Amino acid sequence: MQCPICGAPAKHLAENADGLAVDCPRCGAYLVTDSCLNALLRRELEERAQALATARRLAGPDEVPTISSIAPRPWWERLWRRR
Ligand SMILES: [Zn+2]
């Protein structure tokens, strides 16, 4: 599979009701919740990397970072990009 964050070939560790576990050579191991994955794939690379960075900050030292929410786009960006 491809890493949903950076697109590099990554190991798909598990997929369950909670989401998808990925082990990526670039991003490391992390989890993405199901509801987040779809939203994540529609975002720019920079925003996806940002979501992972946030998950890493929130995770404890022995925890796998979990991407469970994505910051909403700023209003000016929504206007500007018109998606
Ligand atoms: Zn990656």
Q: Tell me which residues have their CB within 5 A of the ion that is ligand 1.
A: 3, 5-6, 8, 24, 26-27
pTM listed for this prediction:
0.81
Residue 5 CA, ligand 1 centroid: distance in Å = 5
Percent of the chain residues topping a pLDDT of 90: 64
Residue 10 CA, ligand 1 centroid: distance in Å = 7
Q: At a CB cut-off of 8 Å and minimum separation 6, what does 82 contact?
A: none
pLDDT at residue 72 in the model: 78
Average pLDDT, integer, range 31-57: 93
pLDDT band with cut points at 50, 70 and 90 for residue 24: very high
Q: Residue 83: pLDDT above 80? A: no
Nearest C-alpha neighbor of 18 from the set 30, 3, 1: 30
Tokens of 21: 């576990």
Q: Residue 80: pLDDT above 70? A: no
